[in-house]
Amino acid sequence: MTFGSATDPAHAHRGPARVPATSPASMDTAAGMDTAAGMDTAAGMARSDTAIWTRGLSKRYGARRAVDHLDLQVPRGALSGFVGPNGAGKSTTLRMLLGLIRPSAGHGHVLGEPITEPDRYLHRVGAMIEGPTFHPGLSGRRNLDQLAILRGIGGWQRARRARRVEEVLEQVGLGKRADDRFSSYSLGMKQRLGIAAALLPDPCLLILDEPTNGLDPAGIREIRALLGQLAGAGMTVFVSSHLLTEVEQICDHLVMINNGRMLFQGHVTDLLAAEDPRILMIPEHDADARRLAGLLDDEGLRVEIDLCSGPPDASATRGRRPVVTAHAPEGLAAHLNRLAMRAGITLRSLRTQRPNLEETFLRVTGEIDGDLVRSAQAAQAPDGSVPPPAGAGLDPAHSRGGAT
């Protein structure tokens, strides 16, 4: 799904008029207006530095809030992931940003233009929302050519339009199947054609809803590489996905929502660093596990023992070794190794572990959603410990969703 329209020059911002300070009341008025002007200036700077900027964006359907006071700040040139459980409000948010539905409250800007006037920015935006739709009897090339005509790409120059269609077909890996009918395409190929359609206008901002849906592993890697190339060339890419491992690998910026509310936004590394780091140790002798746990407890660390989750050992009477887990930062690993050695405990394994995005997401949202692709369905963490309560390690009030 792509959009386009003509635009008018942006209106210049005019600050509030100054009031002479002839009385305490007028001084208060002037101070208040100066504060408001300062806030407007700060907001204007934020909008200029971001591709997507919203404040208090909300959408209500009757008594239900699909989106609840969402503050977005997606940097220009970023490859940003947009994640949340099914029904969290992701598609509703994207539709408001594209002018398909009107917000119930709040305001926002896309590429510096207000979302109340989408004609001023949609010609610079490419989008694919909730799956592509094309004429089943036409080839991929003919479908794109018709869309290019509707968008005015290439003007009246057919050769120029044909070159652009060929470029995007090659970009998404459909060059060899371009002349086959759309009805013969696999689900993954249809997704690729949808991305190609979104790229037709050579947009500044690309918004994709589940772009890897239906792709095989090789196709996912290709799309991952493509999105990285687009972001590397300066395009802002805002991608909604339920493949959390893919989001973690390709995105440098993340927006996480649940029940229409912001849980986190910022760099992916910042989110993972805020989670609970752990150091996992496996003693050479099983009998030393409890003694090692006691030493770590004396150091003031939170410690857990899993007597049967370690890696398999053919020489052991049991199939697996006990694991002692200390909730501590990576920097303490060497100290804990020395502590065990002084106590006469030899460690056969010592490694650090930080939850990945999938584990962090499930912990923060406090639920397992059917749309999420998980590597395991166990309720326990990989080391056998019980995960902390939902939202532990992240305070929505301290997320990066606030105004700056």
Q: What pLDDT, in 10s, does the model give residues 335-390?
A: 999 999 999 999 999 998 877 777 777 776 665 443 433 333 333 333 333 333 33
Please tell me the total count of domains within the chain: 2
Decide which of 214, 238, 271 is a domain's last residue.
271
Same domain, 211 and 90: yes
Query: For residue 186, how many other CB atoms are within 10 A of its CB?
Result: 13
- Compute CA distances 320 → 50, 282, 283, whole Å: 51, 10, 12
The predicted-structure confidence for 108-120, as pLDDT tens digits, reads as follows 999 999 999 999 9
Domain-embedded: residue 342: yes
| Domain at 179, CATH number | 3.40.50.300
The predicted-structure confidence for 319-334, as pLDDT tens digits, reads as follows 578 999 998 888 889 9
What is d(CA 11, CA 301) in angstroms, rounded to the nearest whole number? 59
Task: Read off the pTM.
Answer: 0.67
Domain-embedded: residue 206: yes
Same domain, 252 and 283: no
Decide which of 244, 271, 298 is a domain's last residue.
271
The predicted-structure confidence for 286-312, as pLDDT tens digits, reads as follows 999 999 999 999 999 999 998 765 555
Average pLDDT over residues 55-60: 96
What is d(CA 167, CA 185) in angstroms, rounded to the nearest whole number? 19
Same domain, 246 and 290: no
Cα-atom radius of gyration of the chain, to the nearest Å? 26
What is d(CA 316, CA 307) in angstroms, rounded to the nearest whole number? 13
| Structure tokens that stand for 280 in this block | 């996992």
What is d(CA 132, CA 197) in angstroms, rounded to the nearest whole number? 9
Helix and strand counts by DSSP (H, E) for the chain: 11, 15
Same domain, 330 and 184: no
Query: For residue 24, how many other CB atoms are within 10 A of its CB?
Result: 8
Residue type, 34: D
Same domain, 83 and 199: yes
The conformation of residue 62, written as its DSSP 8-state character, comes to T
| Domain at 281, CATH number | 3.30.70.120
Decide which of 337, 354, 371 is a domain's last residue.
354
Domain-embedded: residue 372: no
What is d(CA 360, CA 275) in angstroms, rounded to the nearest whole number? 7
Kindly report the CA angle at 51 between 47 and 56, in degrees rounded to 5?
A: 60
Same domain, 323 and 193: no
| Structure tokens that stand for 190 in this block | 């249809």
Domain-embedded: residue 87: yes
Predicted pLDDT at 4:
43
Average pLDDT over residues 187-194: 88
Predicted pLDDT at 8:
38
Return the closest-CA partner of residue 254 out of 81, 400, 88, 76.
81
Distance of CA 6 to the CA centre of its chain: 30
User: How large a percentage of the chain has pLDDT more than 90?
Assistant: 46
What is d(CA 257, CA 367) in angstroms, rounded to the nearest whole number? 13
Band of the pLDDT at 221, cuts 50, 70, 90?
confident
Average pLDDT over residues 260-270: 86
Kindly report the CA angle at 136 between 135 and 139, in degrees rounded to 5?
A: 85
Predicted pLDDT at 365:
65
Same domain, 55 and 153: yes
315 pLDDT above the threshold of 70? no
Same domain, 246 and 334: no
- 291 burial (CB, 10 Å; 0-12 / 13-18 / 19+) is middle
| Structure tokens that stand for 384 in this block | 């056998």
225 pLDDT above the threshold of 50? yes
Band of the pLDDT at 243, cuts 50, 70, 90?
confident
Band of the pLDDT at 125, cuts 50, 70, 90?
very high
Asked whether the beta carbons of 256 and 93 are under 8 A apart, the reply is no
Average pLDDT over residues 216-237: 86
Asked whether the beta carbons of 288 and 265 are under 8 A apart, the reply is no
- 305 burial (CB, 10 Å; 0-12 / 13-18 / 19+) is middle
What is d(CA 69, CA 399) in angstroms, rounded to the nearest whole number? 14
Same domain, 302 and 245: no
- Least confident among 157-171, 179-193, 257-271, 374-388: 374-388
Range from 278-287, 364-373, 391-400 that averages highest in pLDDT: 278-287
Q: Which helix (H) or strand (E) holds 353?
A: strand 347-353
Asked whether the beta carbons of 236 and 248 are under 8 A apart, the reply is no
Same domain, 93 and 242: yes
Domain span holding position 231: 42-271
Strands (E), 46-160: 50-61, 64-70, 73-75, 79-83, 105-110, 113-114, 125-128
Q: Which helix (H) or strand (E) holds 93?
A: helix 90-97
Average pLDDT over residues 82-87: 86
What is d(CA 112, CA 137) in angstroms, rounded to the nearest whole number? 39
Domain-embedded: residue 146: yes
| Structure tokens that stand for 235 in this block | 């395009």
What is d(CA 248, CA 239) in angstroms, rounded to the nearest whole number? 12
Distance of CA 333 to the CA centre of its chain: 31
Band of the pLDDT at 24, cuts 50, 70, 90?
very low
More confident residue, 177 or 359: 177
Same domain, 329 and 218: no
Same domain, 91 and 154: yes
Domain-embedded: residue 105: yes
Considering the chain, what is the average pLDDT of its residues? 78
- Residue 184's contacts (CB-CB under 8 Å, 6 or more residues apart) are none
